[in-house]
Amino acid sequence: MGRPDLDAVVAGNDKQRFAVERGPDGGDRIRANQGHSIPVELGLPPVEPPARLYHGTGAGVVESIRTGGLHRGGRHHVHLSADVETAQRVGARRGGPVVVFTVDAAAMARDGHVFHRSANGVWLTDAVPARYLDPGR
């Protein structure tokens, strides 16, 4: 696989899941922006989030989220969207009705929760306690 092939993978992915970056040896390498299933250091600095972020999910898990908040599960972070439309698209991946939760990211940041923003605009945090979630719509 040559560089043009890598560039095509990065440019052609509609969710911008991949990025090309300079490695420690000075060579270019491809990596996932987030969503890794193995331990990896993303190297993303902490970033002040916007006042509100959004999380789209299937209707079947709404009560669990309302009572227990959002947890990263098998991922390294909870993934949040900057706008309702993106959160709706993310929540629709599994089919069925979608519920979008509003996250009070400003209050979370004030209370010491750390946020990162991946190269493709996905907001990342370790967990979202239920008290920072609007019930979902």
Let me know whether 127 and 83 are in one domain: yes
CB atoms near residue 50 (< 10 Å): 16
Let me know whether 13 and 57 are in one domain: no
Let me know whether 130 and 82 are in one domain: yes
Q: Give the pTM.
A: 0.72
The whole-number pLDDT of residue 116 equals: 95
Q: State how many domains the chain has.
A: 2
Residue 21, in any domain of the structure: yes
E-assigned strand segments in the chain = 18-22, 28-32, 52-58, 70-71, 78-80, 98-104, 116-117, 123-125, 127-128, 133-134
What does pLDDT average to over the chain? 84
DSSP letter assigned to residue 19: E
How far is C-alpha 57 from the geometric centre of its chain's CA atoms?
13
For residues 115 and 124, the answer to whether their CB atoms sit within 8 Å is: yes
Strand 52-58 versus strand 70-71 pairing type: unpaired
Please state, in angstroms and as integers, the Cα–Cα distance from residue 51 to each residue in 9, 102, 133, following that order: 33, 10, 12
Let me know whether 76 and 9 are in one domain: no
Let me know whether 64 and 94 are in one domain: yes
Let me know whether 72 and 120 are in one domain: yes
Quick one: tokens of 13? 């992915």
Domain at 61, CATH number: 3.20.170.30
* Of 25, 59, 32, the residue nearest 122 (C-alpha): 32
Below-70 pLDDT ranges, the chain = 1, 6-7, 9-21, 29-42, 136-137
Angle at 44 between CA 42 and CA 46, to 5 degrees: 140
Per the structure, the complete domain to which residue 10 belongs is given by: 3-32
Residue 46, in any domain of the structure: no
DSSP letter assigned to residue 81: B
The pLDDT tens digits of the residues spanning 31-59 come to 665 554 545 556 789 999 999 999 999 99
Residue 85, in any domain of the structure: yes
Residue 39, in any domain of the structure: no
